[in-house]
Amino acid sequence: MSSSTSPVAWELVDSSGRRVESGQTTVMGYDQASGDHVHIIDFSSCKTEGRGFKLVSGSVESLPFNIDTDIYSKMKYDAMKYFYHNRSGIEIKLPYCEESQWARPAGHPRDVMSPDPNKSYQGNYTLDVTGGWYDAGDHGKYVVNGGISTWTVMNQYERALYYGDTSVAPFADNTLNIPESGNGYPDILDESRYNVEVLLKMQVPSGALKGMAHHKAHDERWTALAVMPHEDPMDRYLQPPSTAATLNLAAVAAQASRLWEDYDSAFASKCLTVAESAWDAAVANPNIYAPMEQGPGGGAYGDDYVLDEFYWAACELFVTTGASKYENYLKSSSHYLEMPSKLVGGEALGLTGCFDWGNTAGLGTISLALVPNNLGASEIAQAKANIKAAADDFIAIGNAQGYGAPIEEALVGDNLVGYPWGSNSFVANEAIVMAYAYDFSDQKDVKYLNGAASAMDYLMGRNPNVKCYISGYGENPVQNTHHRFWAYQADNSFPKAPAGCLVGGPNSGLQDPWVRGSGWLPGVRPAQKCYMDNIESWSTNEITINWNAPLAWISAYLDEQGPEADGGDIIADYGDVNGDGAIDALDMVAFKRYLLTKDITTINATNSDINDDGQIDAIDYALLKKMLLK
């Protein structure tokens, strides 16, 4: 940030103050989302690793930082360990919790509930919903939100089946240091199963709504901070069933069924039975909506548009079973093969994004594009093209922003334009879509990988708060996450959060009394500065399973992609048209053939666009010729 309207000189100095790189800034100008006047410094040409570098411009200098090619190899474990730490119904203990400060007795070890007596829905039964992951800073279990979170963790594994390597962490058995390590099953599937099991228990057992899933299960009233789960004093109730929850259950159970088929066919079969019965119940009860208003003791997760959930569930059931009834449904859906770059359903009103807990169509499209199924080749190709088009949108949006965040301000409340609750999770989910665009592009177009890495750069500190929104990482990481057990700031006898937790981040709504009491008013403060690292700020600094799931996904992905993805832009190997590592006469031959046939699969597109103008044409051919003659 600098108020100067002309470029200013900058230097990158090492820990001894020696100049490593220098240059002039590029003036970006006034940036609405941050309220800053922004200059860009590009020091991606620096390939020197080390600690204690600083950027200096005039009298201004950055925090000291490291330049490293290994950023994600530990984060991918920490981000996944979040789910173990937040398990309900089981003692959290060494060696799995890594340090004794994070050990605790089992929370809600017998979590048996009846429908909430204060709601109009009544049922003469109780459900044993012991287990699963706590949703967020509170002790609720929500089927809508549990759904997308569990799907994301399982999808991370499913992607590795086709594009990655399931023999390494966090996929293989014995890689995550969890109680199920060594049981012969992939550890990431074990972790996701811990929540699948509780989702399966949420079905209405009898009566007119038999087969529907309860929307959520949580405390009667909100508890205070610094409360361990086993000391939760509140009564807990099942909240009324909803169509959205039922379809979340159908989708996730269908996905779990195909992933467990090779490991535990009895469990796979149970999952499929539940998935199909949930689908039938949703079809019979297609418009039972959870209320949009927040009741006491739990988040609302209200959603009055569920055709996206129907489409998602149909996709998962079709991929798993191949049955024509699901194929017919999804092909007739207005969401068929869709990957949004703007969200309009649930609580979202035109936000930049691909999916969230209330907008689930994109999840179905990913499964159709990723997992072999009986759709035609042209339809699969269209799904992939739609994913790439959304990624292109995110890259363009990021490039237009001062701090490179792939998100635009949007209507987020009554007359309030800015960033939504959990804005960081929109960025993290978009990074997944950019990663898939990279997987799905014929010649691994690096702009998609750079887009995903740039989204992480924003989360890790390239933002106006100079804050790493992931605990334990970066130069100025978040310290005081909103969580009832990791509540050190509220009560020093409680621990801080372990490393690898992603907070929701800037939220223009500024709903919590703490930020309001600090004089921060919605609509006045720039969107990206609506963030406070304080445990009381539940509207900007909470953590939750559906935000950590994309963090786990993308950190493992970027680690898999290697050092290139760790440190800014990847430089194309211009001229290596055939991608064999050398620039020689064979590249001329390949280029000439391409100009005749226009068959893009015969060349490396990134390396062939030598003048980087987005076209591969005779000008690039002439430049290649010149390179070789020189």
Nearest approach, Cβ of 193 to Ca ion (angstroms)?
10
Among 241, 353, 358, 498, binds Ca ion (CB under 5 A): 358
Nearest approach, Cβ of 151 to Ca ion (angstroms)?
14
Q: Which of residues 106-125 bind Ca ion (CB under 5 A)?
A: none
Q: Check residue 167 for interaction with Ca ion (CB under 5 A).
A: no
- If you count them, how many residues does the chain have? 630
Token pair recorded at residue 583? 């620039």
Supply the DSSP string of 412-434, one letter for each residue.
Answer: EETTEEEPPTTHHHHHHHHHHHH
Among 36, 135, 219, 308, binds Ca ion (CB under 5 A): 308
Alpha carbon distance 596, 599 (integer Å): 8
The region of 74-82, 171-179, 261-269, 552-560 touching Ca ion under the rule CB under 5 A is 171-179
Q: Which residue has the tokens 């981040």?
A: 505
Alpha carbon distance 508, 423 (integer Å): 9
Q: Which of residues 478-517 bind Ca ion (CB under 5 A)?
A: none
Alpha carbon distance 461, 525 (integer Å): 19
Nearest approach, Cβ of 174 to Ca ion (angstroms)?
7
Q: Which residue lies nearer to Ca ion by CB, 185 or 448?
A: 185
Q: Which residue lies nearer to Ca ion by CB, 160 or 503?
A: 160
Nearest approach, Cβ of 95 to Ca ion (angstroms)?
15
Q: Which of 21, 31, 138, 587 is the catalytic position? A: 138
Q: Which residue lies nearer to Ca ion by CB, 173 or 393?
A: 173
The region of 48-56, 308-316, 459-467, 544-552 touching Ca ion under the rule CB under 5 A is 308-316
Q: Check residue 135 for interaction with Ca ion (CB under 5 A).
A: no
Greatest distance between any 2 Cα atoms in the chain = 84
| C-alpha torsion sign, points 246, 247, 248, 251 | positive
The region of 202-210, 260-268, 358-366, 480-488 touching Ca ion under the rule CB under 5 A is 358-366
Q: CB count, 10 Å around CB of 585? A: 9
Q: Which of 533, 559, 560, 587 is the catalytic position? A: 533
Q: Which residue lies nearer to Ca ion by CB, 86 or 243?
A: 243
The region of 87-95, 165-173, 416-424, 517-525 touching Ca ion under the rule CB under 5 A is 165-173
Element (H, E) at 213: strand 213-214
Query: In the stretch 388-407, what mask flags binding to Ca ion with x, by CB under 5 A?
Result: --------------------
Helix, coil or strand: residue 453: helix
Nearest approach, Cβ of 357 to Ca ion (angstroms)?
8
Token pair recorded at residue 48? 């020197």
Token pair recorded at residue 337? 């093969």
Residue 21 in contact with residue 46, Cβ under 8 Å?
yes
Query: In the stretch 315-354, what mask flags binding to Ca ion with x, by CB under 5 A?
Result: ------------------------------x---------
Residue 444 makes CB contacts below 8 A (sequence gap 6+) with 438, 604, 606
Q: Which of residues 177-196 bind Ca ion (CB under 5 A)?
A: 180, 183, 185, 187, 190
SS3 for 473-537, per residue?
Answer: CCCCECCCCECCCCCCCCCCCCCCCCCCCEECCCCCCCCCHHHHHCCCCCCCCCHHHCCCCCCCC
Nearest approach, Cβ of 321 to Ca ion (angstroms)?
23
Alpha carbon distance 84, 495 (integer Å): 16
Q: Check residue 303 for interaction with Ca ion (CB under 5 A).
A: yes
In terms of phi and psi (left: phi > 0; alpha: psi -120 to 50; beta: otherwise), the region of 337 is: left
Q: Which residue lies nearer to Ca ion by CB, 357 or 531?
A: 357
- Residue 569 annotated among the catalytic residues of the structure: no
- Residue 542 annotated among the catalytic residues of the structure: yes
DSSP state of 33: T
Q: Which of 78, 173, 219, 542 is the catalytic position? A: 542
**Residue number, nearest CB to Ca ion:** 173
Whose CA is closest to 84, among 181, 8, 169? 181
Distances in whole angstroms, Cα of residue 162 to Cα of each of 49, 376, 597 = 33, 18, 30
Alpha carbon distance 43, 67 (integer Å): 11
Token pair recorded at residue 47? 């390939």
Nearest approach, Cβ of 450 to Ca ion (angstroms)?
31
Nearest approach, Cβ of 152 to Ca ion (angstroms)?
16
- Residue 475 annotated among the catalytic residues of the structure: no
Nearest approach, Cβ of 111 to Ca ion (angstroms)?
24
Supply the DSSP string of 582-618, one letter for each residue.
Answer: --SHHHHHHHHHHHHH--GGGS-HHHH-TT-SS--SH
- Residue 214 annotated among the catalytic residues of the structure: no
Q: Which residue lies nearer to Ca ion by CB, 185 or 557?
A: 185
Q: Which residue lies nearer to Ca ion by CB, 401 or 546?
A: 546
Return the active site residues. Answer: 138, 482, 533, 542
* Residues contributing to the site for Ca ion (CB under 5 A): 173, 180, 183, 185, 187, 190, 303, 305, 308, 345, 358
